[in-house]
Amino acid sequence: MEKMISLTIDGIQVQVAQGTTVLEAARQAGIRIPTLCFLKDINEIGACRMCVVDSGARSLQAACVLPASDGMVVKTNTPEIKQYRKNLLELTLSTHEKKCLSCIRSQNCELQKLCLELGVEDGDKYEGTKNAYTIDDLSPSIVRDNNKCVLCRRCVAVCANVQNVGVIGPVNRGFKTAIESPWEMKLNQMSCINCGQCIVNCPVGALYEKDDTAEVWKLLSDPETHVVIQPAPAVRAALGEEFGLPMGTSVTGKMVAAMRRLGFDKVFDTDFGADLTIMEEANELIERITTGGTLPMITSCSPGWIKFCETYYPDFIDNLSSCKSPHEMTGAMVKSYYAEKQGIDPKKIAVVSVMPCTAKKFEAKRPELGHDGMADVDVVITTRELARMIKEAGIDFGALPEENFDSMMGESTGAAVIFGATGGVMEAALRTAYERITGTVLEDVEFHAVRGIDGIKEAMIKIGDSDVSVAVANGTGNASKLLDSVRAGEKNYAFIEIMACPGGCVNGGGQPIVSAQYKMDHDIRVERAKALYGEDRAKELRKSHDNEEIKTLYKDYLTEPGSHLAHSLLHTHYQKREKYSD
């Protein structure tokens, strides 16, 4: 039983477990202490000093690293403390590029919010010499603008400690300190996996996705181009947040309606591609198990994970499923099956994918993902970019009706929609693999053993007379731990799911940005996943192989999973990558 201690915060008696910080104790008492560098469980270093409190010591102390002690008396909001915090903000602004009106994080900036709360009116009070930095925009996914960096080191912590990548960090000292890559290299020269976790954890506009909305507007304005759009499963679980809806609200119907009003010729669904992925992936898994193929087979839906594997674990490349990711499969079908059925020249079709993921921008540019000289997907935009387009077009999102996806590539099952949550790909594959292997109907389709946000989940699944050992990892740091155990011979699995982002796609680098203060009390991975599991339960069909449009696709075009045509259009290969490039 943990030992409890008692302290007083702003006159309120608080009881907490020993080892609790003053910041956490105040939170439990309903007292909000402002923070800037703090990121729960990730960056708890007391660097910004915004959370200072008076604990009776000779100087103010940072609450995020100050252990609560029995009998402690803490003050969090005295005139001295408020002035101290205000001075800190004014000093921060003295080196900050204050282009707030045009900043991508305007109205969703933690620095801006703190300045408003603490009454900072003069951003130039300590105006003086500034460091000028060249914007690093050479990556296909991520833009870095150190002119707006506040040196909180949240991006550094998540990249190194959560993702186990570590391609950025502080260089130089004092006034010249900056967050950079080694040897002044750009992100596109580093072993960055493009996951965008640095973006969603940055408090300001120092990191953001490469904006491709101008290219989409250009396509939409071209009367000669047939423009198709497809949104990923996780997009519908988060898009509503950009329009004031509660986190965890599924907005599938309104999202489709908004896309039509933006002018897209067809609105298809990446969920269709997810069902298609399961058909191919389950077939591949069964084939590997029955013919002595390379095991464990590892999922290939997450491009951040794929690049991580190619760079840091190339000895596992043969374990990767050869299946393209769902949106790439959908794109390939749009430019072959759909084009043929509709009598449209595929070279006049443009496919736009809306993804919760910044790594998808990199993925779409991979030369392996295309056919007949065409890329499967032409442009990738994030959930945030779609929201900006809807707002720019003056569409009242809340007033939109619920509309359905277009037929031919718009039907999906419950198995597809859960792809957006960690464990979802595994669960969807098991639903189909079970029935394919046993020839019997799977009555209970929910595999709770692979659900949840634990970094690594293991399960032994009974399929007929066989026990199939599976594992799920989310976040590439956890993927490292799992693969290291497999490499060392400590673990043995038949099938592994890995997603690059913690919690899966619902917490992808392209999703709506949530403040660190909100994350102290809410787990956005859980809240957004609820929307996907809710859609799954509401679906009449919950197994990929029951999708009628998928059945028609194989009957009229692909013949069967793993056929020669299916393999040429829906499968790919991978390559070993160097950690650094010129």
What mean pLDDT do residues 491-505 have?
Answer: 98
b/e burial code for range 236-266 (CB count within 10 A of at least 16 → b): bbbbbbbbebebbbbbbebbbbbbebbebeb
DSSP 476-518: HHHHHHHHHHHHTTS---SEEEEESSTTSGGG-TTSPP--HHH
**Both structure tokens of 403:** 């509309």
Q: How confident is the model at residue 581 (pLDDT cuts 50, 70, 90)?
A: low
350 shares its domain with 477: yes
Q: How far is the C-alpha of 74 from the C-alpha of 54, rounded, in Å?
A: 6
What is the reported pLDDT for 582?
A: 44
Element spanning 285, H or E: helix 270-291
Q: How far is the C-alpha of 272 from the C-alpha of 409, rounded, in Å?
A: 6
42 shares its domain with 157: no
Determine, yes or no, domain membership for 83.
no
Determine, yes or no, domain membership for 374.
yes
406 shares its domain with 358: yes
What is the reported pLDDT for 50?
A: 97
Peptide bond into 401 cis (omega under 30): no
| Domain count along the chain | 3
What mean pLDDT do residues 326-337 have?
Answer: 98
What mean pLDDT do residues 368-396 have?
Answer: 97
186 shares its domain with 221: no
What mean pLDDT do residues 270-290 have?
Answer: 96
Q: Which of 209, 226, 247 delimits the end of a domain? A: 209
Above pLDDT 90, what percent of the chain?
Answer: 96
Catalytic residue among 307, 324, 360, 361: 360
Tell me if residue 301 is catalytic. yes
- Check: CB of residue 356 under 8 Å from CB of residue 505: yes
395 shares its domain with 251: yes
What mean pLDDT do residues 470-497 have?
Answer: 98
Determine, yes or no, domain membership for 224.
yes
324 shares its domain with 397: yes
Determine, yes or no, domain membership for 291.
yes
Tell me if residue 407 is catalytic. no
Determine, yes or no, domain membership for 84.
no
Catalytic residue among 281, 328, 385, 411: 281
Q: Which of 179, 209, 239 delimits the end of a domain? A: 209
**CATH number for position 23:** 3.10.20.740
What mean pLDDT do residues 530-536 have?
Answer: 97
**CATH number for position 329:** 3.40.50.1780
Q: How far is the C-alpha of 89 from the C-alpha of 115, rounded, in Å?
A: 7
52 shares its domain with 144: no
Least confident of 182-191, 300-309, 350-359, 523-532: 182-191
- Is the pLDDT at 579 greater than 90? The verdict is no
Determine, yes or no, domain membership for 581.
no
251 shares its domain with 161: no
pLDDT digits (tens, 9 = 90+) for 199-234: 999 999 999 999 999 999 999 999 999 999 999 999
What mean pLDDT do residues 498-514 have?
Answer: 98
223 shares its domain with 205: no
Catalytic residue among 505, 527, 535, 544: 505
Catalytic residue among 180, 284, 385, 527: 284
Exposed, middle or buried, 456 (CB in 10 Å: 0-12/13-18/19+)?
middle
Determine, yes or no, domain membership for 330.
yes
**Residue 160 domain boundaries:** 90-209
- Check: CB of residue 511 under 8 Å from CB of residue 196: no
Q: Classify 248 in phi/psi space as left (phi over 0), alpha (psi -120 to 50) or beta.
A: left
Name the nearest CA neighbour of 268 among 329, 347, 213, 340. Answer: 329
CA separation, residue 314 to residues 303, 310, 343, 482, 497 (Å)? 15, 5, 42, 15, 17
Catalytic residue among 250, 321, 325, 544: 321
**CATH number for position 167:** 3.30.70.20
Determine, yes or no, domain membership for 258.
yes
- Is the pLDDT at 1 greater than 90? The verdict is no
- Kindly report the pTM of this predicted structure: 0.96
Tell me if residue 548 is catalytic. no
132 shares its domain with 274: no
Judging by DSSP bridges, how do beta strands 349-355 and 226-231 pair with one another? parallel
Q: How far is the C-alpha of 481 from the C-alpha of 208, rounded, in Å?
A: 29
Q: How far is the C-alpha of 440 from the C-alpha of 464, rounded, in Å?
A: 9
User: What HEC string does 334-368 produce?
Assistant: HHHHHHHHHCCCHHHEEEEEEECCCHHHHHHCCCC
CB atoms closer than 10 angstroms to residue 343:
6
Catalytic residue among 363, 385, 427, 435: 363
303 shares its domain with 202: no
Q: Which of 192, 209, 226 delimits the end of a domain? A: 209
pLDDT digits (tens, 9 = 90+) for 133-182: 999 999 999 999 999 999 999 999 999 999 999 999 999 999 999 999 99
Catalytic residue among 198, 301, 323, 501: 301
110 shares its domain with 179: yes
